[in-house]
Amino acid sequence: MNNPIKNWWPSPAKLNLFLHINGRYKNGYHQLQSLFQILDYGDELAFDVNASGKITLADPISGVVDEDNLIIKAALLLKQSLPATQSNGLGCTIHLRKRLPMGGGIGGGSSNAATTLLVLNKLWGCHLSAEKLAALGLTLGADVPIFIQGKTAFAEGVGEKLQPVSLPTKTYLILFPDSHVSTAEIFSLAELPRNTAKIDFSDYSFANTHNDCQQLVCDRYPNVAKALHWLLEYAPSRMTGTGACVFAIFEHHQEALDVQALLPKGTTSFVANGVNTSLLHSQIQAQIY
């Protein structure tokens, strides 16, 4: 009989505390500057490794076929990066507790991919370096490397050039306005501002930064505009990534909970603390293999 007590691994969310678009590369991707804040809240994954050679997702996501699921894609990518002699027979059944809204700009899919790469790298004994895992992850999405590194960081390039930074601990109230925003759609809009001047991170403050996608998303998705407008009554607030989630920043956990309690009934929200190191990385460090 299988042991019913699973080892659950965190798959945290992130916020883009700001998102400046500085230009565009020849391949169409955007050159950006951002501040990734890792949160102490997210999905969880468990991995039952076996010798079947098959990768199975025990908890499929409604609306996402398994071949497109970033968890399966990450596991297959890891296997394919190994010599056949090493990858032969590597199998796994993966369990998922999904909490993060999809298409929310909080990195759910990218984080799931990163957790899969990091944990299977250990459980399968692949011994790939973090740099190699980040390079593999980048082929799945621009947001995967930040979750591989697992540190709150100032980002440049397409989001893969990361400089870890230590931020004071704040609490965030995050609202999901029940609109799914396609990242590809927003980045393809002709009206998107693409010429924000680069900043030095030493000059960063929340007040002197912004999100270049926010206005366009608010114009197209009234629910996002409404949620942001609501939050701004209480605290400094902004959209994360290309939306749809918006967040407000509080000094103290209780203040965020107090404002959350005032939300109109039926609003999807969560309160989380910013962390400088992902809980996944602390758990991996503490584990003995």
Ligand X SMILES: Nc1ncnc2c1ncn2[C@@H]1O[C@H](COP(=O)(O)OP(=O)(O)OP(=O)(O)O)[C@@H](O)[C@H]1O
The dihedral sign for the CA sequence 236, 237, 240, 245:
positive
From the list ligand X, ligand CDM, none, partner contacted by residue 108 (C-beta under 5 to 8 A by kind): ligand X
Choosing from 184, 261, 286, 288, the residue that interacts with ligand CDM (CB under 6 A) is 184
141 labelled ligand-binding = no
From the list ligand X, ligand CDM, none, partner contacted by residue 32 (C-beta under 5 to 8 A by kind): ligand CDM
Coil, strand or helix at 88: coil
Q: CA triplet 249, 105, 142: central angle to 5 degrees? A: 120
Are 46 and 52 spatial neighbours (Cβ–Cβ below 8 Å)?
A: no
Preceding omega of 235 cis (within 30 degrees of 0)? no
Asked about 6 being catalytic, the answer comes back as: no
Closest of 286, 279, 289, 285 to residue 45, by C-alpha: 279
Assign residue 53 a region: left if phi > 0, alpha if psi is -120 to 50, beta otherwise? left
Q: Should residue 11 be labelled a site residue for ligand CDM when binding is judged by CB under 6 A?
A: no
Choosing from 12, 104, 137, 177, the residue that interacts with ligand X (CB under 6 A) is 104
Q: Report the nearest approach of ligand X to the CB of residue 43 (Å).
A: 7
Give phi and psi for 142, each to the nearest 5: -65, -20
Segment 39 to 98, residues that bind ligand CDM, using CB under 6 A: none
Assign residue 157 a region: left if phi > 0, alpha if psi is -120 to 50, beta otherwise? left
Q: Should residue 216 be labelled a site residue for ligand CDM when binding is judged by CB under 6 A?
A: no
Choosing from 8, 187, 204, 234, the residue that interacts with ligand CDM (CB under 6 A) is 187
For residues 124 to 143, the per-residue mask of contacts with ligand X, x marking binding by CB under 6 A and - elsewhere, is -----------------x-x
Asked about 98 being catalytic, the answer comes back as: no
Binding site for ligand CDM (CB under 6 A): 16, 19, 29-30, 32, 34, 105, 110, 141-143, 158-159, 183-184, 187, 241-242
Binding region: 101-111
